[in-house]
Copies of this chain bind each other. A is one copy, B any other.
Amino acid sequence: MTSVSPTDPKYASRKRQQELLSKYLSVRSFTNRIVAPLEPEDCVIQSMLNVSPTRWHLAHTTWFFETFVLKSAPEFRAYNARFEYLFNSYYNSVGQQYPRAQRGMLSRPTVAEVLDYRRAIDEQMIARLESAKRLTDQELDVVELGMNHEQQHQELMLTDIKHVLSRNPLTPHYSSDELQVDSHRLTSSWLDFEEGVYEIGHCGDVFAFDNESPRHRVFLESFSLCSQTVTVGEYLEFINDGGYERSELWLSLGWHQVQTHGWQGPLYWQQKDGVWTEFTLSGQVDLQPSLPVCHVSYFEADAFARWAGARLATEAEWEVASEDTPEEGNFATSLMDSGAAIHPNDNASTTSDLRHLYGNVWEWTSSSYAPYPGYEAPAGALGEYNGKFMCNQYVLRGGSCATPVGHVRRTYRNFFPPESRWQFSGVRLAR
């Protein structure tokens, strides 16, 4: 056995390895915190194709570390040979995948068995990261990717379980934490930005996904961005003005959705005897006009903007405009810490001109999700992470109340098909 030279440039500094260990423990522990309120029965339901059972998320995020970090070691032995198939999401390079549409057909492994699996992989990961045998920078990059990957699934666990619980006529709720509604609501205003050639995309040393690179130039005409996101009250005006009955406000595909699915408001909104309520992770509550509207599709965001005489921003505009705004806001971690419901709120703590740019709700942009000029997917299985999804999806920016703190950044590109509504997605107007 050769001893590792601490000065070999391909090996990471001891410091980075220690920092990642610490962050690893923190990320994994937050996942446990998310699932703590759930019953085993909650964790196996797939309430629609896009939703995965909680148990699947718990296993898949663990599978990621086992497959992409631990598997390459010569002494590796699979925890359970069938898991490679069962918990592979979409990595064709790794092998066949258990069909996504059938994730709700599996009662085993039980939640308890999956938690055992998590603990076993954690032990191996910790041993690896604590080991005197240093990992290469490339290996640590994969560990870091795995942690960011798990954070993405933390958000999905919250949005997926919300969907699962919402389907139940008993309207069970995830937690009893209450929504926060602030009485001092600021009025919105328009912020102006000048035309010019700008640079967007990832730069610097912090972690970023491949789809944020390369940094490149774009030409922007002058534009304005609204100081805050659209509120529930404003959205109700749209509805009351016949928003869901006027085809001229909608993209053709959006109108088709409205007609086919009978949309009459955002997902989780319900009107009964003239009273609007909303299903939240803290149960069924009355609509709060001052809160940001969320759970709208791209189609609804676009139709609302057209109704309001405005439009959605492009992702380049959003990124250019965000330059001076600190990456702070209502994220899942702080909401949980403060005993507040996982839901957007309207606290006025932020002093930025662009209020709640981060956290609260993801903001739909008008940009189709596409590779940046010069983008190349990484080699191997991890090249399947982002690039192959660059078609028929739209970019969202800024993170939401279900995003763990520290996960998003200015250049972060989230993306969903235009009909998706089960994420905490909202609207910021541009013109």
Contact = CB atoms under 8 A, between A and B. Distances in A.
Interface of A: 39-45, 47, 55, 82, 85-86, 90, 92-93, 98, 102, 104-111, 164-165, 167-170, 172, 197, 216-219, 221, 247-248, 250-255, 298-299, 366, 368, 370-371, 373-374, 383-384, 388-392, 418
B252 A102 contact: no
A51 to B, nearest CB: 10
Given A41-B107, A107-B165, A250-B388, 4 more contacts: A42-B107, A93-B247, A105-B167, A366-B370
A250 B387 CA distance: 10
A252 B41 contact: no
Contacts of A250: 388
User: Which among A40, A41, A109 has the greatest number of chain B C-beta atoms within 10 A?
Assistant: A41
Contacts of A44: 41, 44-45, 107
B254 A391 contact: yes
A367 B85 CA distance: 35
Given A44-B45, A45-B105, A169-B86, A110 B248 contact: no
A79 to B, nearest CB: 13
A82 to B, nearest CB: 6
Contacts of A85: 169
18 contacts: A39-B40, A39-B107, A39-B110, A41-B43, A45-B104, A45-B107, A82-B169, A90-B252, A105-B164, A106-B168, A107-B168, A107-B172, A197-B197, A219-B219, A221-B373, A251-B390, A252-B391, A254-B391
A213 to B, nearest CB: 14
A98 to B, nearest CB: 7
A259 to B, nearest CB: 10
A92 B246 CA distance: 9
A325 to B, nearest CB: 23
B108 A170 contact: yes
B219 A217 contact: yes
Contacts of A388: 250-252, 255
Contact of A391 (B172, B253, B391): B253
A282 to B, nearest CB: 16
Contacts of A389: 251-252
User: Which among A98, A167, A252 has the greatest number of chain B C-beta atoms within 10 A?
Assistant: A252
Nearest to A169: B82
Nearest to A108: B172
Contact of A108 (B39, B106, B218): B39
Contact of A40 (B40, B172, B374): B40
Nearest to A392: B392
B253 A105 contact: no
A388 to B, nearest CB: 4
A219 B372 CA distance: 13
A299 B392 CA distance: 12
Contacts of A93: 247-248
A184 B42 CA distance: 49
A313 to B, nearest CB: 11
The 8 closest A-B pairs by CB, nearest first: A368-B368, A219-B219, A92-B247, A41-B107, A42-B107, A252-B388, A40-B40, A392-B392
Nearest to A222: B373
A247 B168 CA distance: 26
A91 to B, nearest CB: 10
A47 B105 CA distance: 6
Contacts of A392: 253, 392, 418
Nearest to A216: B221
